[in-house]
Structure 1
Amino acid sequence: MLRSLYSGVSGMRGFQTKLDVIGNNIANVNTIGFKGSRAMFKDILSQTVAGVTAPLDGNGGVNAKQIGLGVTLAAIDTIHTPGSAMTTNVVTDVRIDGDGFFAVRDGEDGGIFLTRDGNFKIDAAGQIVTSDGYRVMGADDVLPAIDTAAVTAFSIDQNGQFIGVNVDGTSAPIDGMQIALVKVTNPSGLEKVGGNMYRVTPNAMEGDIVFSAPNDPAVGTGAIISGQLEMSNVDLTGEFTEMIVAQRGFQANSKIITTSDEVLQEVLGLKR
């Protein structure tokens, strides 16, 4: 069979995967804290028709003759560039201005997940939670509940510290109420688990999760901006451009298959 037939099939599969990635990016163009992905490709092992020879006895060397066998998926990278800021003026909406991730916990003894989605809320018990009810974490543990009887209002400074307004009108930091951030060595190594959350993998960071204070220059964590949310970093212009490239690439590879089929038809016709 013709090698080009299988090369065309591999190309169509590759561009179909690229279209799947682009479609997911476009679908999440308004998702808070979403990070877009890209599909990267590599060539498949080439078949050597003739080997290489070195220069010898005054004769020049001869290069190898190799025929490529198609394309395969190399990686699907998550692009962790910052998204644009959306001002909401809601105190519990927070954005990370720089590096780092929020840490949230599922239940009392559940797993810890990371997220850039700072759309937090206060539940009936005064706890700071995500939209799915996950508890937001401070240093080593979840943030304690806010005593709504003692605190009439609060704000959040750039260090992630909650500043409460007492019933007598005075303001003071609330003990234990400081949002923690997690600095990840390789953010692209995080595993997406849905719900705008990531799971830490061995290729994302070594050892256990380390909680750090926001706006810490020694660690490199970003500042906390209250009243804003980080939007998706998906660029629609770039995504639609890549969609055209993927569509044309898919069509070109399908043409390779139909052309190879016509050649095979000619070969079969030689017997008549």
Structure 2
Amino acid sequence: MFRGLYAATSGMMAHNRKQQVLTNNLANANTAGFKQDQTILRAFPDQLIKAMEKGKIASNIGTLNTGVYAQEGIPSFMQGALKETRNSTDISLLGESLPVNPETQKKGTVTFAVRLDNNEIRYTQNGQFTVNENGLLTTAEGYRVLNQNLQPIQVNSTEFTVQDNGQIILQDGTANNRLWIGYTEEPEQLVKEGNSLLRWAGDPAATPQFVDNVALLNNAGTFVKQGFVEQSNVDLTQTMTEMMSTYRGFESNQKVIQAYDRSMEKAVNEIGRIY
């Protein structure tokens, strides 16, 4: 009897977790470069139920579902719409123009690289940059944007241009820096850390590679677009619909638990009562 109670409880917990992910997506609908998370509900392994009778071979009755769980949110790296700002420090990545690897049938994704205050390197797809008081190109949080040698980029002012391949040309014509643009075929190995940062959680030997070092991209020279910001890829209509559906799923499991509660109350108070 209590097995169904456990299954309904796991359903409530899974739908609650999915609702949290959807709420976070909705809250970041206006965050530049934000990638929405997708949550999948999966079932625990079924149990095989057998009838055991004395002196007889056990016979199979069927299977019993033991509940569901919510798989952790998996980011969708589909490119968001581009919004023109005409700001020189706004640089969008063009992931949709990447070719598909004919061997793996994977398209992959591209990212910028930034250096944290503790000198660790992280990745980001939010190209809404700024120039700090030292003339360095940084993110809105102050993390230093890195060049082809994984060093901070000195631009001195906002008067610079960025070519399609990430080459930066300063106001005086100097062109000794190029944005580090990394490519990976396994974006699912990038884990969100907040502040639009991504951390590589896969094989350390398979971290995103500079685009020039990827043979697949030899003929793909357009990686960025200056004066544009990539908007969030959150679909508001779809997210609101999923939130309503998730709420209904939570409510349904809640009613199952209430039904079990009434059944147990009746069993305790009425079954076995002596009249």
Q: Normalized against structure 1, the TM-score is what?
A: 0.84
Cα distance change on mapping 1:257 and 1:222 into 2, 3 Å: farther
Total equivalences in the alignment: 251
1:106-148 CA-to-partner distances (Å, cap 9, x unmatched) read: 24x6100100111111222221111122111111222442356
Q: What's 1:124 paired with?
A: 133
Q: Within 5 A, what are the aligned runs for 1:136-151?
A: 136-146=145-155
Look up the SS of the partner of 1:198 in the other structure.
strand
**Secondary structure at 2:42 match in 1:** strand
Pick one of 141, 157, 165 that aligns with 1:159: 165
Q: Distance in 2 between matches of 1:222 and 1:241?
A: 36
Paired with 1:92 and 1:237, the residues of 2 have a C-alpha distance of 31
Structure 1 Cα separation of the partners of residues 252 and 140 of structure 2: 45
Q: CA deviation at 1:234?
A: 0.5
Residues 250, 219 of structure 1: alpha-carbon distance in 2 compared, 3 angstrom cutoff:
farther
Q: Partner of 1:110 in structure 2?
A: 119
Paired residue for 2:54? none
Contact 2:90 2:228 in 1 (8 A): yes
Give the aligned residue type for 1:32.
A
Distance 1:34 1:144, change over 3 A: closer
Q: How many angstroms does 1:64 deviate by?
A: 5.4
1:211 alignment counterpart: 210
Amino acid at match of 1:211: F
Residue 211 of structure 1: CA displacement? 2.2
| Residue pair 1:183, 1:219 contacting (<8 A) in 2 also | no
Letter in 2 for 1:124: E
Q: What amino acid is the match of 1:69?
A: T
Structure 1 residues 220 and 258, CA, compared in 2 at 3 Å: closer, same or farther?
farther
Structure 2 counterpart of 1:57: none
Separation (CA, whole Å) in 2 of partners of 1:217 and 1:38? 28
Contact 2:211 2:217 in 1 (8 A): no
Q: Does 1:199 align with 2:195?
A: no
How far 1:229 moved relative to its partner? 0.6
Distance 2:69 2:243 in 1: 18
Cα distance per residue 1:145-200 (max 9 Å; x no partner): 2356xxx932111111122343xxxxx4x242111111122112211111100111
Q: Is the 8 Å Cα contact of residues 144 and 176 (structure 1) preserved in structure 2?
A: no
Aligned with 2:90 (options 90, 93, 100)? 93
Q: In the superposition, relative to structure 1, how do residues 262 and 156 fare at CA in structure 2: closer, same or farther (>3 Å)?
A: same
CA deviation after TM superposition for structure 1 residue 222, in Å: 5.3
Report runs of 4+ in structure 1 exceeding 3 Å deviation: 205-209, 213-216, 219-222
Q: Indicate the SS of the match to 2:154.
A: coil
**Counterpart in the other structure of 2:101:** none
Q: 1:20 to 1:214 in 2, by over 3 A?
A: farther
TM-score (norm 2): 0.83
> Counterparts of 1:161 and 1:23 in 2: how far apart (Å)?
38
Partner of 2:3: 3
Name the structure with the higher helix share: 2
Distance in 1 of aligned mates of 2:114 and 2:88: 18
Q: Which residue does 2:235 correspond to in 1?
A: 235
Q: What are the ranges of 5 or more consecutive residues in structure 2 without an aligned counterpart?
A: 52-58, 96-108
Question: Does the Cα contact within 8 Å between 1:214 and 1:222 map onto a contact in 2?
Answer: no
The question of 1:68 aligning with 2:65 is answered yes
Q: Deviations over 1:80-117 (max 9, x none)?
A: 1111111110011100011300000124x610010011
Per mean C-alpha deviation after superposition, the further-off stretch among 228-237 and 118-127 is: 118-127
2: distance between equivalents of 1:233 and 1:222?
A: 21
Cα distance, 1:208–1:239 mapped onto 2, change above 3 Å: closer
